[in-house]
């Protein structure tokens, strides 16, 4: 049975008053991106089904020719975008001057299409789930000249330190491939409660995400979880805890935190995996946050250049260590 001609799915795409055909030149940073994803990013509010339809009908042209949705763009391609009504997007939150100043001073490396940022604790890496503005949204506002800006990996909101951000798609794909292959290095500093066992240099415990009745999401050690491995090295011992270096071999959510808990030495200041009485004792020493810091990241750029960037320990964590040494 034919559809009614008034079906909105058959309606021609139309533009708000004053908006017509657009011709967009693809920057080199976006080379390799699929045309459907390129359009989705620029036609906010337009259903993906509509984007596939205008591609199928040939209303979108690349260098004057028809292309399929899986076509991968090249730098310099000229994309014809037909008039199409875009629903009004909600007003985006704006990064304030204080946050901009903090992030400007936190840039540790900016070369070859790769940013390394010393993320402050308390800042989410991206918006969502009640967070209006995250690190990546703030960076996109700070670098309006960069058409591409994506997280290479993530850090928990309460974790500080070095995080990689790609300013070129080719860099993102290259470094993420290194990450999957285990060639990218990440070193953390963590304060574990109690006495870390001398023999516990490698923790191999499968991890599974779990949702409690309250709706809180936690990670647990479970035989049916994903294989997870973390190397630990004791750096300094105190009566109340142990400063350790942690290198995650796999990249599971909350991996270092849960593996430390599994050993019996949960991280100081961890509100999710450490008992309240343990955290209370560390609060008396001045610790007001999770003691977990991304201290160093190592990778290579697509041209083969090796990159190694260290992020200094925040002053509020250094003060805690000084207090432990004087105890």
Cβ 62 vs Cβ 79: under 8 Å? yes
CA angle 320, 322, 325 (to 5 degrees): 110
Q: According to the model, what pLDDT value does residue 89 have?
A: 57
CATH class of segment(s) 16-81: alpha beta
Distances (CA, A) of 100 to 2, 10, 95, 143, 146: 56, 45, 7, 11, 16
Q: According to the model, what pLDDT value does residue 1 have?
A: 39
- Does the domain at 97-326 match CATH 3.40.50.2300? Answer given as no
Cβ 187 vs Cβ 247: under 8 Å? yes
Q: According to the model, what pLDDT value does residue 87 have?
A: 62
Helical residues (DSSP H) of the chain, grouped into ranges: 35-42, 48-56, 97-105, 135-142, 169-181, 255-263, 276-283, 315-326
156, 222, 276, 303: the active-site residue:
156
Q: According to the model, what pLDDT value does residue 10 have?
A: 34
Q: According to the model, what pLDDT value does residue 128 have?
A: 67
Q: For this structure, is 110 an active site residue?
A: no
Q: According to the model, what pLDDT value does residue 297 have?
A: 97
Measure the CA–CA gap between 104 and 101, rounded to whole angstroms.
5
Cα 179 from chain centroid (whole Å):
13
Q: According to the model, what pLDDT value does residue 129 have?
A: 62
Q: According to the model, what pLDDT value does residue 11 have?
A: 35
Domains of the chain, residue spans: 16-81, 97-326
Taking the CB of residue 201, how many other CB atoms lie within 10 A of it?
12
For residue 259, what are the contacts with CB-CB under 8 A and spacing of at least 6?
Answer: 203, 205, 228, 230, 232, 246
Q: According to the model, what pLDDT value does residue 46 have?
A: 86
Measure the CA–CA gap between 139 and 157, rounded to whole angstroms.
16
From first to last of its 327 residues, the chain has per-residue pLDDT tens of: 333 333 333 333 333 333 588 999 998 888 889 999 899 888 877 888 999 999 999 999 999 999 999 999 999 999 999 988 766 556 678 888 999 999 999 999 999 999 999 999 999 998 766 677 889 999 999 998 888 999 999 999 999 999 999 999 999 999 999 988 888 999 999 999 999 998 999 999 999 998 776 778 899 999 999 999 999 999 999 999 999 999 999 989 999 999 999 999 999 999 999 999 999 999 999 999 999 999 999 999 999 999 999 999 999 999 999 999 886
pTM: 0.76
């Amino acid at each position: 049975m034919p559809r009614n001609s008034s079906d909105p799915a058959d309606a021609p795409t139309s533009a708000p008053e004053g908006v017509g055909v657009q011709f967009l030149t693809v920057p080199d940073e976006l080379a390799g991106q699929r045309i459907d994803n390129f359009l989705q990013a620029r036609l906010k509010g337009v259903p993906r089904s509509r984007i596939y339809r205008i591609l199928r009908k040939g209303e979108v042209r690349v260098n004057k020719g028809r292309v399929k949705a899986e076509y991968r763009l090249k730098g310099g391609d000229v994309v014809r975008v037909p008039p199409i009504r875009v629903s009004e997007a909600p007003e985006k939150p704006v990064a304030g001057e204080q946050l901009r100043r903090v992030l400007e001073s936190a840039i540790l490396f900016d070369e070859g299409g790769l940013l390394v940022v010393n993320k402050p604790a308390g800042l989410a890496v991206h918006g969502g789930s009640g967070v209006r503005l995250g690190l990546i949204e703030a960076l996109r506002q700070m670098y309006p000249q960069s058409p591409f800006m994506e997280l290479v990996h993530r850090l928990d909101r309460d974790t500080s330190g070095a995080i990689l951000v790609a300013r070129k798609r080719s860099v993102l794909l290259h470094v993420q491939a290194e990450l999957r292959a285990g060639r990218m290095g990440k070193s953390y500093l963590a304060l574990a409660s109690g006495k870390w066992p001398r023999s516990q240099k490698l923790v191999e415990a499968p991890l599974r995400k779990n949702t409690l009745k309250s709706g809180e999401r936690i990670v647990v050690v479970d035989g049916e979880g994903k294989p997870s491995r973390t190397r630990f090295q004791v750096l300094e011992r105190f009566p109340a805890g142990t400063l350790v270096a942690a290198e995650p071999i796999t990249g599971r959510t909350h991996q270092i935190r849960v593996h430390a808990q599994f050993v019996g030495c949960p991280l100081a200041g961890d509100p999710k995996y450490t008992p309240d009485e343990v955290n209370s004792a560390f609060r008396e020493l001045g610790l007001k946050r999770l003691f977990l810091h991304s201290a160093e990241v190592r990778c290579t750029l697509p041209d083969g250049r090796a990159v190694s960037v260290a992020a200094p320990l925040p002053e509020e964590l250094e003060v805690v260590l000084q207090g432990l040494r004087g105890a």
